[in-house]
A and B are shown apart, each in its own frame.
Chain A
């Protein structure tokens, strides 16, 4: 019952006109930041933190949170339209979204992305870096983050949670009508767009650490990606590997710790055994004759 009264009080707090305004400002700035390379949500939140000193703590957190997921959505906009991810999280959006855009379905891709962020709203995982700045903001306003925060200042917690729903609604309202305008960007002739995209990438790579070395690293990997394309290697699995690799290693270590060094734990535990079984089957299916023919045909059609 406590939770319901909490949520209700949270909605009451975030529905106030001032907080709605702060949420809207945050979401607007966030989308712009997400679309532009070179500065990310964490950097923006840090820059705008002093601007929130004089407002209510709830409003401050609401605005800063709005910046964060506005940036997440803005990043997916550029991923869909020009195949350049605005944020690290939007890289996967590039894979499907850009293909849809190339087939003339950019509007649908943007719409799905907006709705997707809306449904996945609080329930998503908020990055650690973002949380660190947010904790700093809380402490500046005189609140000690921790288990007592919920008891001493419930309006902060519930206000933030409900503002995330509000923020996502605002994002939808803000972006859905604008999809038409965004799609027009695609109509810019590629001859003009291409150098601009490159410029954005260069600036983005440079401004992370103010280092030209970063730019050179980016160019080397760009060359690698180009060669991969030429030689027919798929980029998507490499991407997945980059994301999943560290997670795999950590999980392996933890599992080995639990099993005192025995590898049989991966087969004795039912969930792990089932997952491994499916994986092995998928790998072996590469060699099944009837699937081979089908796959070769698909590969040839895909060109």
Chain B
């Protein structure tokens, strides 16, 4: 808890500083004629204040034993690969087109994160891609990108 709170609070303090600096640039105006930066400045200041308080409390208080490292174990690798797969989806969507990208991403998701057998992964993602395409593109007429393959 201590390290987690310290690091996340430090991150928030930096964010608060950047935020306040940006709002100063926007111009705070006067109290009679508040500029766009007035409230963000206040919010940034509060953010810094509360983050400092969190750090102080994390170090002063008597806390229970620190939890095990958060990023241990196999599930973390899976979470990371899911994230990579999703970013790849966004990147490939315009290149490969909706159908191919969806099929690929779903297969990857089924296979890696949920560890299905190849048959099930391919089958269900194929079915889902087809239904999603039918529902969203054909019925609802959302226009999805077509890749260089033409579909």
* Contacts from A to B (Cβ < 8 Å): 36, 38-39, 47, 191-192, 194-196, 198-199, 202-203, 206-207, 210, 212, 215-216, 219, 222-223, 226, 230-233, 245, 248-249, 252-253, 256, 260-263, 300
**Pairwise interchain contact B110-A263, C-beta atoms closer than 8 A:** no
* Chain A residues whose C-beta falls within 8 Å of the C-beta of B141 in the assembled complex: 47
Q: Which A-B residue pairs are the 10 nearest by beta carbons?
A: A261-B32, A191-B114, A195-B109, A215-B90, A207-B142, A261-B31, A231-B8, A249-B39, A212-B90, A216-B90
A194, A199, A219, A261 — most chain B CB neighbours (10 Å): A199
The listed residue (A215, A219, A249) touching B83 by CB distance below 8 A is: A219
Tell me whether chain A's interface is mostly helix, strand or loop, or mixed.
helix
Q: In chain A, what residue has the closest Cβ to B8? A: A231
Contact residue range for chain B?
Answer: 35 or more
Instruction: Other than A191-B110, A256-B32, give 17 A-B pairs with Cβ distance below 8 A.
Output: A36-B140, A39-B140, A192-B114, A194-B109, A194-B114, A195-B113, A195-B125, A206-B93, A215-B90, A219-B87, A231-B4, A232-B1, A233-B8, A249-B39, A252-B39, A261-B30, A261-B31
Q: How far is it, in angstroms, between the C-alpha of A231 and the C-alpha of B7 when the chains are bound?
A: 10
Q: How far is the CB of B30 from chain A (nearest CB, A)?
A: 7
* Chain B residues whose C-beta falls within 8 Å of the C-beta of A249 in the assembled complex: 39
**Pairwise interchain contact A212-B70, C-beta atoms closer than 8 A:** no
**Pairwise interchain contact A230-B142, C-beta atoms closer than 8 A:** no
* Chain A residues whose C-beta falls within 8 Å of the C-beta of B144 in the assembled complex: 206-207
Given contacts A195-B109, A248-B39, contact A202 B143 (CB under 8 A): no
* Chain B residues whose C-beta falls within 8 Å of the C-beta of A245 in the assembled complex: 43
